[in-house]
Chain A
Amino acid sequence: MRSKFTWIMTLLMALTINFSFAQEKVVSGTVSDATGPLPSANVFVKGTQRGVQTDLDGKYSIKVNVGETLEFTYVGFEPQSRVVGAQNSYDVVLAEGQILDVVQKDVYRRTTEKKSVMAVAGISAEAIEDRANASVLQNLQGQIAGLNIGTGSGQPGADSTIILRGVGTINGNVEPLFIIDGVPVDEDGFRSINQNDIASVQVYKDAAATSIYGNRGANGVIVISTKRGGYDEKMEFRYTSQYGYSELQPLNMELMSSNELLNFQKRVGVGYGAALSDTEIDLVSRQNNTYWSDIFFRKGVTKSHNLAITTGSKNTNNFTSLGYFEQDGIFKSTNFKRFSVRNNFSGKSEDGKFNYSFNFSGNFSRSNGMNGAGSNQIYFAPFRAALHGLPYLNPYAPDGSVTTDGGIAPGDISGITVDKAPYVLLNSVDMNTNVNDEIKILTSFAADWNFAKNLTAGFQMGVDFSGTRALQILHPNSILGPFQVNGTNETEYGGSQQEATSRDFRFNSVTRLNYNNTFGDHTIDATAFVEYNKAHLDGINFTQLGLDSRLVGTGAAFIPGTTLHTDGTQPYIPTVGSTKVSEGLFSYFGNFDYDYKGRYGVSATVRRDASFRFIDDNKWGTFWSVGGRWNIDQEEFFSKRFPQTELKLRASYGTSGNQRINNAQYSALNRTRNLYGQGATYNGSVGTVATQIGNTDLRWEQTAQSNIGVDFGFWNNKLSGSVDVYRKRTTDLFQPTPISPINGTSTLDTNIGSLENKGVEVSLKYNVFRNQDWTIVLNANTSYNKNFIRDLPESYDGIVFSNGSTSLIEGSSVETFYVVRYAGVNPANGNALFYTADGGLTETIDDSDRVNTGKSSYPAWQGGFGTLVKYKGFEFSTQWSYFADLYRNNLDYGELEETSVIDDGSNRVASTATAWQNPGDITSVPRVGNPYGAVDYINSTDRYLEDASFLRLRNVLFGYSFSKEILQDLPISGLRLYVQGENLLTFSSYRGWDAEAGFRSTDRGNYPTPKIYTFGAVINF
């Protein structure tokens, strides 16, 4: 059978050759460098899109016509070419040398790294695709200088906060603009995007890079490209799969055991332990010593499957991928699932003058989550219960399983006491529903047409659609169910169901006309653009109180609103809501690039933008930038003296605007107008009230940024990298300015004040060693950013203090802690002591004693480093990340060390036992019954203000790629296996589960991020 098949194939080949006019044939050979074969080197047929890569032994084979030229390239090596003649084999030895120029392409421009005047940093697919995080953004942490990524929740798929080069606004959007394949997308929707589809991520930092994004570029731009097929490529399948586990990180604090807690309670005479004898305490603590984290948290499973198919013919190519990802959260009953499908199609005309592409990505994700992170409502705060639960409570039901109600009957008022909160939460976890579904469709079309000599017209449009549904059901038979209708347990039916669905449709189109020409040594590239953006959000929501417990799940369970309660009220009437809002932007702009011999280059952009948010003269904003470069290595005087060195100097200055003056999308939609609304009711009548005071003078926030950078490569790029220094000033900050409460409100958002970020970024890559078998590479990046407020509204007198722990202070960073300094405990009476502003001591927390601590919840230092070691088929890599000089209020610890009240149903940390007892005691924990509770310490003092710096082993991977020889008898062309882990090690003094918290200023009962271990396989066939 087999031999027959081969024979037929041979015959077909023969026929094909006979019909071919050109002398096409297959040539093969080996690509190597001085030390041995180079795997994955590129072999292209010049002037075509045909190309192959060498295998692990550096071997290639490719179909060519006699007379065509083969080009051999490999990153870090000088390219070579061979004209195909009679020979059927071409072996090439590449010499180390120039880095192959990497293409930088965003929505508007396409250039190369060498000719770029911009500060851009990128990472490729390899750095992210093997990772096991549900959201691709989490994988970027520590990999790009200046890019801060903070994830404040361990819920799989949780959104991260991304800040580039420091916080550039107080109330506006702080996150960069995200572009996927040319389409601006919602920065919060990344959980639905399959990271296996991503080919590269590039971060645009300076004004030369971002000014062209005018209205949305002030916080930087992150450009994501997805994978595509190549022309004339044979069909290839790539299957990847992962399986693994996630678990809780260790808790960096010492909780009391049953014995310790009961003895402490006995000593202070409050709580359960107070009334027990020593024998009873012994007995109780021998019976139960529960570590509630073990009960609430678990080991979760992660699995993923991806199949990608690429193919290409002469004028079309295609990339198709299917993905499935599933990850259990480490907290009981939380998980995440995603199904995704993508197709990227490209086509061109015969003469190559018309190119077009169409991308479609459809995704569905479902997140079963847990509300109540950070909540102060203890019966609704699951993570707090896991940390605070009393150790002497028994977590098990009589049959030995974990209890789901702790013996508390639904609606039993006397049974629900603060100490029983863990039972209530276990019950909620078991019975209630909290689902967030998202359908995400990203689709785009782009075409360009070289319709006349040097002139190209282009058009692209894209759609980002998100359909979401959030469903929360509080089961009527849960412990808290009977209270849901009117706050008592007296209604006949209990429980509640809240549901919200929304559709978010964002449309973007860019039309452009480009002129490009080279006159001798001069190259000019000029483009004019028109851009249109429109976004629509609509949604409906309802809350139904009162469910029939037999039918929970859909409207079938809803008790009719007309049903009467025994007291004559109609408590089951649902509340409903409906929203519909729109946003829009319109812009025209131009870009001009000039290059001389690849030695000097200038790039300039000017842009006019209109935002629907502003009126009259403030509607249009003008933003511009200029950038220049000097490729010093292209100068003869330099290249002669330093032949193996690359050096480029860049400088840029420019402005960009922020019209998203309030952080959330679809907010601050009409702040220029006075508005009224109905809804305030009195005695059953509906009233009309003022809902907004307009500010007609509202305008763009503007950021002006200057940047100087150097890109370098020494010793044939054995050591390469870049250094950038920048200064970014935001003016006309949108922030609440106090207005007299005689206006009916006490603040009004106005454009006032300015802030500045300045810093240094360094990225380095060092190819330590490379030979036939070995590759050793080190990379590191670090950034320092100083953020400070330059001006605040005059009336504030240099400080905006509004009762929290952080304030805005001129000369200090955003979110600077402005609190009273804790001085310890007065040995005489056990009260807490505080420093007054002038250094004296007081027992009263007084706002006038607050001082600027100079500490902020945003880090000054951020960076990462990694290693890559390869030996034959083996690879071992590590990726570390760190944040330094950031602080956070540890309310968890504060509550666990609470001595103001004792019988609050919460466990304590061991240090609480050192609380002051007798005059003369020297301790740091105030007497039992002192007037200040944990929240007071958090809001007003630095007692629990902790250094949240950390160094974390973000990722470690060990893998093996099987060689061609081993696989030759198998129907596959490549096989790679690996094990990898996320967050395996963390070094931090922060007392809690997780030092990382998404730049929150206060931590209370949050969902910690997990450790994840996975085993993965990549199969090509």
Chain B
Amino acid sequence: MKKILRISLLAAFIGMMSCEDATDIIQESELSEELAFQTVDDLRGGLIGVYAVYSPDAGGNGSGDQILFNDLFTDNLKRGISSSGQGNQTYNFILQPGSNFPTTLWNSRYAVINFSNRVLRAWDRVYPTLETEAERDDANEIKAQLLAFRGFCHFELIQYFATNYQDLTAPGVIVMDFVPEVDQVFPRNTVGEVFQQIESDLTQAAQLMGTEFNSLGEYTTVAEESKFYINPDVITAMRARVKLFEGNYTEAYTLANSLLQNENYGLSGYVELGSLYESDNLAAKELIFALSRRQGDNTITSLWSANGAGVNGSPFFEISNGLLNILPSSDVRRFIILNTDNEIVGLNSPNNILPQGKYLGATEDGAMLNDVKVFRAAEMVLIRAEAQARLGNLNAAATDIKALRDIRVATNNGGNTPLPSYANLNAALTDILLERRKEFALEGHRYLDLKRIGTEIGVGINRESVDCASFGADCDLAPTSYKFTLPIPNSEISANPTIAQNPGY
């Protein structure tokens, strides 16, 4: 009897411990997709997440994304006084499937696409449960922005990774319009298929958005901050850029023109342009779309220097002498691109210290922060000029270029620059390429411009010798170089046996 008591006591003791509380543990911090997205506000939260992930200005200390790569790989930068070798390989034209830039561009754009698709998937689940018209309208504008992101990121990918934008059967990038399973892989779609997806996303976005961004109040209380979101005009600007690359110049003209006809946009005079860069003035007519950068966000100034703009900000990249030389002191852009805190010793002197001035990082949002200007009226002018030139109207192109120069260079000579005269398309494109270089330096265009226009007219990378010497790098890259198309990065290759690499790599 006593023994039985003892043994049952023992058994009770063993049974005291239950198994489940040790083996079925859900951490308190877990959030599932179902719980994450239940209301229209949740969907907007998902969209805000997509905005937060899209960062062409990412990077620092020599690595980066679109904004840095376009100038570093080409001819707009030189080594800064505080360099400890940042960006050395990129400047030396070393591009490989394992290189930082192709990997970042590929991975980050597909991340934006994936995140958009996830919210779109949740959207399909949540939308039928919405009860009021207002909620459904709100939801439709959310969907419009998600689709615009998806289309635009496909477009950015194809800009870098397709060899030829107009050969519709050439390999493009992977079209992703859904959330894949982790073990799924896909080959590259053709350029035609990718542009089709872009077209479909952007037109659907435009339809869902309509002509007004009605739900702006749900995003911000400041009316001017509509330029921080993909409003109807931003979708138009995206489509204008897409059509230019696609080679549909008529539509490119129409779209760019429609924005320039819009009274809200136009080229800014030098004071307003200055305020756009210096203080992120959203009211500037020049600005169509910018990415908001506030305290806690990526500091764009650190793409070029460690501790702020200016000579004392430890710049590891400075603007090149080559870029400086094409900007006469009558050109307002010289004073935007070149920091007023500089040391110019002489023409092409290796001792010139030329910190960038486009991103001074001195706005009220916090140190080293500036908004990322994605679309400006000047781009629409240049798209319109190029489209007209390509459509055979060289005079109209010249008129557009003159208009842009008048407002940029005119300050000292009465707002009147000579009307360029283009003997042929090549001459027009040469001039447009030059103007784009001056206009978009440090805004993420140069490499793509050289790829698109330069290869067509036989202009490659041609650095000032003092600039390339600063890195001990080659000065020139032929326009025929395979390096005007980025390699499909290792991150995709090692996961995806069906992917084809670009030629040369």
A joins B in a complex:
yes
Which residue numbers of A lie inside 8 Å of B, CB to CB?
378, 413-414, 417-418, 451-452, 457, 459, 483, 486-488, 490, 509, 511, 513, 530, 532-534, 567-569, 571, 579-586, 610-612, 619, 669-670, 673-678, 680-690, 693, 695, 737-746, 748, 795-796, 800-803, 844-847, 900-901, 904, 929-933, 935-936
State how many angstroms separate the Cβ of A527 from the closest Cβ of chain B: 13
CB within 8 Å of A: which B1-49 residues: 3, 6-7, 10, 13-14, 17, 19, 21-33, 35-37, 42, 44-49
In the docked arrangement, what's the CA distance between A90 and B173, Å? 94
Instruction: Decide: B52 and A846 in contact? CB cutoff 8 A.
Output: no
CB within 8 Å of A: which B372-395 residues: none
Instruction: Decide: A687 and B114 in contact? CB cutoff 8 A.
Output: no
Tell me whether A675 and B30 are in contact in the complex, defined as CB-CB below 8 angstroms, given that A490-B367, A586-B23, A901-B84 are known contacts: yes
State how many angstroms separate the Cβ of A433 from the closest Cβ of chain B: 24
Q: What residues of chain A lie closer than 8 Å to B492, measured between beta carbons? A: 740-741, 746
Instruction: Decide: A568 and B364 in contact? CB cutoff 8 A.
Output: yes
In the docked arrangement, what's the CA distance between A680 and B14, Å? 47
Rank and list the top 6 A-B pairs by shortest CB-CB distance, nearest first.
A584-B22, A687-B49, A687-B48, A744-B114, A680-B52, A738-B495
Which of B17, B45, B176, B183 has a CB less than 8 Å from the CB of A688?
B45
In the docked arrangement, what's the CA distance between A800 and B494, Å? 8
Instruction: Decide: B472 and A904 in contact? CB cutoff 8 A.
Output: no
Which of A413, A579, A673, A800 has a CB less than 8 Å from the CB of B307?
A413
State how many angstroms separate the Cβ of A662 from the closest Cβ of chain B: 14
Q: What residues of chain A lie closer than 8 Å to B366, measured between beta carbons? A: 486, 567, 569, 571
Which residue numbers of B lie inside 8 Å of A, CB to CB?
3, 6-7, 10, 13-14, 17, 19, 21-33, 35-37, 42, 44-53, 82-85, 88-89, 92, 94, 96-98, 106-107, 110-111, 113-115, 118, 174, 176, 180, 182-186, 219-220, 225, 228, 292, 294-297, 299, 307-308, 312-313, 362-368, 471-473, 489-492, 494-497
Instruction: Decide: A803 and B98 in contact? CB cutoff 8 A.
Output: yes
In the docked arrangement, what's the CA distance between A680 and B494, Å? 29
State how many angstroms separate the Cβ of A726 from the closest Cβ of chain B: 32
Instruction: Decide: A511 and B14 in contact? CB cutoff 8 A.
Output: yes
State how many angstroms separate the Cβ of B345 from the closest Cβ of chain A: 15
State how many angstroms separate the Cβ of A908 from the closest Cβ of chain B: 14
Which of B52, B85, B110, B364 has a CB less than 8 Å from the CB of A744?
B110
In the docked arrangement, what's the CA distance between A581 and B30, Å? 11
In the docked arrangement, what's the CA distance between A932 and B85, Å? 9
Which of B22, B88, B368 has a CB less than 8 Å from the CB of A586?
B22
Which of A459, A683, A740, A900 has a CB less than 8 Å from the CB of B220?
A683
In the docked arrangement, what's the CA distance between A928 and B295, Å? 41
Q: What residues of chain A lie closer than 8 Å to B184, measured between beta carbons? A: 740
Q: What residues of chain A lie closer than 8 Å to B308, measured between beta carbons? A: 413, 487-488
In the docked arrangement, what's the CA distance between A30 and B49, Å? 84
In the docked arrangement, what's the CA distance between A741 and B161, Å? 15
Q: 4 other contacts beyond A532-B19, A680-B48, with CB at 8 A cut-off?
A: A511-B14, A571-B295, A583-B25, A744-B115
Interface of A is mostly: mixed
Which of B21, B82, B89, B182 has a CB less than 8 Å from the CB of A931?
B89
Which of B89, B228, B297, B307 has a CB less than 8 Å from the CB of A483?
B307
State how many angstroms separate the Cβ of B150 from the closest Cβ of chain A: 12
Instruction: Decide: A582 and B51 in contact? CB cutoff 8 A.
Output: no
Residue in chain B with minimal CB distance to A507: B22
Question: Which of A413, A490, A509 has the most B CB atoms < 10 Å from its CB?
Answer: A413
Q: What residues of chain A lie closer than 8 Å to B491, measured between beta carbons? A: 738, 741, 746
In the docked arrangement, what's the CA distance between A457 and B174, Å? 65
Instruction: Decide: B98 and A584 in contact? CB cutoff 8 A.
Output: no
Q: What residues of chain B lie closer than 8 Å to A457, measured between beta carbons? A: 10
24 A-B pairs whose Cβ atoms sit less than 8 Å apart in the complex: A413-B308, A414-B312, A532-B22, A534-B22, A567-B362, A567-B363, A584-B22, A586-B19, A612-B22, A669-B25, A681-B48, A684-B294, A685-B44, A685-B219, A686-B45, A688-B46, A738-B491, A740-B185, A740-B186, A741-B492, A744-B114, A847-B490, A904-B85, A931-B473
In the docked arrangement, what's the CA distance between A71 and B183, Å? 70
Instruction: Decide: B312 and A933 in contact? CB cutoff 8 A.
Output: no
In the docked arrangement, what's the CA distance between A745 and B107, Å? 7
Instruction: Decide: B51 and A682 in contact? CB cutoff 8 A.
Output: yes
Instruction: Decide: B49 and A742 in contact? CB cutoff 8 A.
Output: no
State how many angstroms separate the Cβ of A570 from the closest Cβ of chain B: 8
State how many angstroms separate the Cβ of B77 from the closest Cβ of chain A: 16
State how many angstroms separate the Cβ of B89 from the closest Cβ of chain A: 7
In the docked arrangement, what's the CA distance between A159 and B286, Å? 58
Q: What residues of chain A lie closer than 8 Å to B118, measured between beta carbons? A: 690, 744
State how many angstroms separate the Cβ of A978 from the closest Cβ of chain B: 48
Instruction: Decide: B13 and A459 in contact? CB cutoff 8 A.
Output: yes
Tell me whether A676 and B33 are in contact in the complex, defined as CB-CB below 8 angstroms, given that A532-B22, A688-B46 are known contacts: yes
Instruction: Decide: A532 and B17 in contact? CB cutoff 8 A.
Output: yes
Q: What residues of chain A lie closer than 8 Å to B19, measured between beta carbons? A: 532, 586, 610
Residue in chain A with minimal CB distance to B17: A532
Tell me whether A901 and B83 are in contact in the complex, defined as CB-CB below 8 angstroms, given that A532-B17, A744-B115, A745-B111 are known contacts: yes
State how many angstroms separate the Cβ of B95 from the closest Cβ of chain A: 11
Question: Which of A511, A688, A803 has the most B CB atoms < 10 Å from its CB?
Answer: A688
In the docked arrangement, what's the CA distance between A796 and B497, Å? 9
Residue in chain B with minimal CB distance to A583: B25
Which of B3, B31, B312, B313 has a CB less than 8 Å from the CB of A677?
B31
In the docked arrangement, what's the CA distance between A461 and B97, Å? 55
Tell me whether A688 and B96 are in contact in the complex, defined as CB-CB below 8 angstroms, given that A509-B17, A586-B23, A796-B494 are known contacts: no
Q: What residues of chain B lie closer than 8 Å to A929, measured between beta carbons? A: 472
Instruction: Decide: A534 and B21 in contact? CB cutoff 8 A.
Output: yes
Instruction: Decide: B295 and A904 in contact? CB cutoff 8 A.
Output: no
Instruction: Decide: A487 and B299 in contact? CB cutoff 8 A.
Output: yes
Instruction: Decide: B115 and A746 in contact? CB cutoff 8 A.
Output: no
State how many angstroms separate the Cβ of B23 from the closest Cβ of chain A: 4
In the docked arrangement, what's the CA distance between A318 and B247, Å? 89
State how many angstroms separate the Cβ of A585 from the closest Cβ of chain B: 6
State how many angstroms separate the Cβ of B187 from the closest Cβ of chain A: 11
Instruction: Decide: A690 and B115 in contact? CB cutoff 8 A.
Output: yes
Instruction: Decide: A451 and B473 in contact? CB cutoff 8 A.
Output: no
Q: What residues of chain B lie closer than 8 Å to A483, measured between beta carbons? A: 307
Instruction: Decide: A847 and B53 in contact? CB cutoff 8 A.
Output: no
Q: What residues of chain B lie closer than 8 Å to A901, measured between beta carbons? A: 83-85
Q: What residues of chain A lie closer than 8 Å to B111, measured between beta carbons? A: 741, 744-745
Instruction: Decide: B312 and A689 in contact? CB cutoff 8 A.
Output: no
Instruction: Decide: A931 and B471 in contact? CB cutoff 8 A.
Output: yes
State how many angstroms separate the Cβ of B33 from the closest Cβ of chain A: 6
State how many angstroms separate the Cβ of A28 from the closest Cβ of chain B: 45
Q: What residues of chain A lie closer than 8 Å to B36, measured between beta carbons? A: 676, 688
Q: What residues of chain A lie closer than 8 Å to B14, measured between beta carbons? A: 511, 530
Instruction: Decide: B494 and A936 in contact? CB cutoff 8 A.
Output: no
Instruction: Decide: A418 and B30 in contact? CB cutoff 8 A.
Output: no
Residue in chain B with minimal CB distance to A930: B472
Question: Which of B51, B174, B220 has the most A CB atoms < 10 Å from its CB?
Answer: B51
Tell me whether A931 and B106 are in contact in the complex, defined as CB-CB below 8 angstroms, given that A487-B299, A487-B308 are known contacts: no
Q: What residues of chain B lie closer than 8 Å to A567, measured between beta carbons? A: 362-364, 366
Q: What residues of chain B lie closer than 8 Å to A687, measured between beta carbons? A: 45-52
Instruction: Decide: B88 and A584 in contact? CB cutoff 8 A.
Output: no
Q: What residues of chain B lie closer than 8 Å to A580, measured between beta carbons? A: 27-29
Instruction: Decide: B23 and A675 in contact? CB cutoff 8 A.
Output: no
Instruction: Decide: B48 and A742 in contact? CB cutoff 8 A.
Output: no
Q: What residues of chain B lie closer than 8 Å to A742, measured between beta carbons? A: 110, 113-114, 174, 176, 180, 186
In the docked arrangement, what's the CA distance between A800 and B312, Å? 42
Instruction: Decide: B472 and A931 in contact? CB cutoff 8 A.
Output: yes
Tell me whether A847 and B98 are in contact in the complex, defined as CB-CB below 8 angstroms, given that A569-B364, A801-B490 are known contacts: yes
In the docked arrangement, what's the CA distance between A162 and B491, Å? 32
Q: What residues of chain B lie closer than 8 Å to A740, measured between beta carbons? A: 110, 174, 180, 184-186, 492, 495-496
Q: What residues of chain B lie closer than 8 Å to A583, measured between beta carbons? A: 25
Which of B84, B97, B182, B362 has a CB less than 8 Å from the CB of A743?
B182
Q: What residues of chain B lie closer than 8 Å to A511, measured between beta carbons? A: 13-14, 17
In the docked arrangement, what's the CA distance between A417 and B21, Å? 57
